[in-house]
Amino acid sequence: MQNRFDLLNVTPVQPAPVNAAGDHSSGRQSPDQSITEGSAPLPLWTQASRRWTPAATWALWAILAMVICGFYLKQQYRSVAINYRNAAMAWRASEEMYNTHGDGFLYFPQAALVFLPLTYLPVPVGDVIWRLIGMAWLALALRGLCRLLHPAASDAMFWIVSLVTLPLAFSALRNGQSTIHMTAAMLSASLALAQKEWTKAAFWLCLGMAFKPLIVVMLLLAGAVYPALRLRLVAGIVLLAVSPFLAQWPAYVVDQYQDMLAMLRISYQVGESQALYAHFFGAFAAFGWNAPAWLQTATRLFVAGLTLGGFWLTQQRLSPARTAAWLFLMSATYLMLLNPRTEPNTYACIAPAVGWMLFEAALRGSRGLTMLYAILAVLIVGNFEIGRLITAQERAVWLAPLATTLFAALAFRQWLQELRQSGTANETAALFTPAKDLAA
C-alpha cells in the first residue's frame, strides 16, 4: 500500500529567473512541471486546483481592492496615509515635518518624497492610488515568491498564501499603511537575492527604506551575509541620503534630518515605556509587567546576533531560493517581536511567512500542523477583538505577539530540520519526509 507521504518527497526544479513582479523570463513552465517537482509527483490537490486557482486568486485580490477603496472613500478618517500626505505638504512648503510627541510622521524624509507626487492630486484620488500601488506590488511579489519556492505548485501556493495574507493585511491595506509597501519591497529583494541579482536586490532594499525604515533589519542581514551586495547597498544608501537635497534647500534638509533623529529617539523611548504596542515585551506590559529598558535593549541585541548567525548558517547550507525565503521570514519575525513600535496592523508584514509555512505543512500532509498555523493566523487577525475579552481594550495588544512567538518556534523547528537534512544529496526531498503530526 502506498504511503500517503510518498507524494511529498519532492525536489523543487530549478526555476527560471524570476523578476520582482514574479514573472519567469523564460515564459511558460515545462509540461512535466505541471505534474512533478523534481522526480516525484505532487499531492493531487495541488494539481486539481490548477484549473481555477489562478483566476480565483486574482479575482480575490481585485475584489478586496474594491472593498478597500470603498472603505476608504466611506471612512476617510481611518487613514494613516494622512501622515505621509501632511509630511509631503510640509516638505513642499518648507515647514517642519516632525513633532516631539513620538507620533505622526515616524519615517525618514524620503517617505515624504515618495508620496510627494500624489499630493498634486485630489486627496481621495491620491490616497486610493497609494493603496492600489501597495496592494498590486504585494500581490505580484507574493506570486513571485510562490513561483520561486514551488514552481510546479505555485498556483495552489499563491491561493493559500493569499487566503492567509489578505485577512492579516486587511487593516493595513484599508488604512494605507506603508507596511504594505515595505513588505512588498522585502519580498522583491528576496526574489532578486535568490537569483543573485545583486543590484536589483540593493535597489529593492533601499527603496523599501524610503517607504519605512524598519526594513533596515533585512538590509543589515543581507549586507552582512552576501559580500556581493555590500558595495551596492552602500551606494544605494548614499544616493538615498542625498536625494532630499535635490528637492529642497540644503539648510532645510539638514534641519529635517536633525528633527528625524530626535523623533527616532523619542519614538523608541515611547515604545519601550508604554503598554500600547504589540511587541514581545508589550505583551508582558499589557498584563502589568514593564520590562526595564536595559533588558529590552539587551534582548534585541542578543536575538539580533542569533538571527545573524542563523542566517549565515542558512546561506551556507541551503539553496539560494530557500535562503532568500528564510531571510524574509527571519527579518519579519524579528521586526514583529522586537521592534518597540510594532502595532497590530504591522503584522501584515509576517502574513506571507505564515502562509508559506501553512502551505508547506499542507504539502507534507501534516493536518495538525496545517491547522495550527491556521489558528495562529486567526489569533493574529483577532488580536484586538479576542484580546479585549481578557484585558482592558487599550491593552489588547498581547495576542498577536504571543501567536507570533509560537509561530517563530514552529518555524525554528522546520529551519532546524532543513539544516539537518541539507547535507543529503537531495535537500528538499529530505525536507518533505513524513513529519509527526502535531495533532497526534
Cα(290)–Cα(339) distance, rounded to whole angstroms?
15
Residue 315 has pLDDT above 90, yes or no: yes
- Percent residues over pLDDT 70 in the chain: 84
**Per-residue confidence (pLDDT) for residue 424, from 0 to 100:** 57
Q: Phi and psi of 40, rounded to 5°?
A: -115, 145
Instruction: Give the DSSP letter of residue 15.
Output: P
407, with CB counted inside 10 A (0-12, 13-18, 19+), is buried
pLDDT 10s digits, 92-134? 999 998 887 767 788 899 999 999 999 999 999 999 999 999 9
pLDDT 10s digits, 49-85? 777 888 999 999 999 999 998 888 887 666 788 889 9
**Per-residue confidence (pLDDT) for residue 58, from 0 to 100:** 95
Listed range (12-21, 139-148, 161-170, 243-252) with the worst mean pLDDT: 12-21
Q: Which helix (H) or strand (E) holds 271?
A: helix 250-273
Contact indicator for 37, 11 with CB cutoff of 8 Å: yes
Contact indicator for 156, 53 with CB cutoff of 8 Å: yes
List 36's β-bridge partners, or say none: 41
Q: Which pLDDT band, with edges at 50, 70 and 90, does 274 fall under?
A: low
**Per-residue confidence (pLDDT) for residue 41, from 0 to 100:** 64
List CB contacts of 229: < 8 A, sequence separation 6 or more.
193, 198, 201, 202, 222, 223
- Percent residues over pLDDT 90 in the chain: 62
**Per-residue confidence (pLDDT) for residue 76, from 0 to 100:** 65
**Per-residue confidence (pLDDT) for residue 209, from 0 to 100:** 95
Give the residue-averaged pLDDT of 221-242.
96
Residue 339 has pLDDT above 50, yes or no: yes
Domain spans of the chain, in order of start: 80-431
Cα(123)–Cα(89) distance, rounded to whole angstroms?
12
**Per-residue confidence (pLDDT) for residue 32, from 0 to 100:** 34
pLDDT 10s digits, 404-431? 999 999 999 999 999 998 865 344 444 4
Contact indicator for 191, 137 with CB cutoff of 8 Å: no
Cα(440)–Cα(437) distance, rounded to whole angstroms?
5
Please give the mean pLDDT across all residues of the chain.
85
CA distances from 138 to 65, 179, 191 (A): 12, 10, 13
Q: Which pLDDT band, with edges at 50, 70 and 90, does 271 fall under?
A: low
Cα(324)–Cα(330) distance, rounded to whole angstroms?
10
Q: Which pTM does this prediction carry?
A: 0.86
**Secondary structure of residue 203 in the 3-state scheme:** helix
Contact indicator for 241, 108 with CB cutoff of 8 Å: no
Residue 37 has pLDDT above 80, yes or no: no
Q: Which pLDDT band, with edges at 50, 70 and 90, does 161 fall under?
A: very high
Give the residue-averaged pLDDT of 341-355.
94
Sign of CA dihedral 178, 183, 189, 191: negative
Q: Cα angle vertex 326, ends 323, 329, to 5°?
A: 160
**Per-residue confidence (pLDDT) for residue 298, from 0 to 100:** 95
Cell 466611506 belongs to residue: 74
Cα(300)–Cα(43) distance, rounded to whole angstroms?
41
